[in-house]
Amino acid sequence: MRDVIVAANWKMHTTPAEAAELAATIASRTREPDVTRVICPPFVSLAAVRDALLTSDPDVGIGAQNVHHEAAGAYTGEVSAPMLAGLASWVIVGHSERRRDFGETDERIGQKLGRATDAGLRAILCVGERAEERDAGDAEAVVEAQLRGALSAHDPEVLAAAGLVVAYEPVWAIGTGRTALGSDAASMAESVRRTLAGLGWGSAADAVPVLYGGSVTAGSIADFLAEPSIDGALVGGASLKPDEMAGIVARAGLTARARLAAA
């Protein structure tokens, strides 16, 4: 069975003090033993969130929002995978905002994925198409190219053993007013797993959790989790609101228990 995962991406929000309080509040309101919960605060708040969760709920995972593609070097202002030891056990790579604002290529994202895996971090690899690409009918081709560009240089057995997670985030549905349907996400999740199989993953492709990440809220999550091919969510703005996170994780818990009962 694939993990049911809810990962909170706080982006560039919260000071360390605010992050510690928010993490503890969310942890206390999302106690669902069958759901894997992850909070990804800014780098400067990782230690504060770690310390807060040690006392409030150590079952909540901590993730970084990014990582450098080298293990060390003259890269002012950057953070490498080995530096995250003891602070995080998860990391987001290839987020659409990193691709858009910092020009990250699929090759560079693949390098980051390799560094993260080497350091024992469980990676959430983000993929997704822009509005013009979907409107042109190229959505699946774009995501396939992103996956191939990031993964082709890696051994599938190594990434599978490291617990790779893929997050499908349709760029056209993030803060635009356009909304994706559960069926859109499910179709892409199936395409993701076909691509992985084509990259030599074999049956391991079916074991890779695929999350939805496109302005998901407590009100919209049910549509996505109703799809058997969707295994949770990468939550953006709503993850800063305890009420929203409580609703999202509660719905994820229903999905997880239903899947366990059917197994």
**Quick check: 2 and 208 in contact, CB under 8 A?**
yes
Distance CA 197, CA 193 (A): 6
**Quick check: 209 and 232 in contact, CB under 8 A?**
yes
Q: Residue 179's pLDDT is what?
A: 81
What is the phi/psi pair of residue 37, to 5°?
Answer: -105, 135
Structure tokens at 245: 């996170």
**Quick check: 19 and 10 in contact, CB under 8 A?**
yes
Q: pLDDT, tens digit, for every residue of 99-134?
A: 999 999 999 999 999 999 999 999 999 999 999 999
Q: pLDDT, tens digit, for every residue of 75-84?
A: 999 999 999 9
Predicted TM-score (pTM) of this structure: 0.97
Catalytic residues: 95, 169
Q: Is the pLDDT of residue 175 over 90?
A: no
Q: For residue 190, what pLDDT band results from cuts at 50, 70 and 90?
A: very high
**CA 89, 235, 42: angle at the middle one, nearest 5?**
50
Can you tell me which residue has the tokens 């492709």? 205
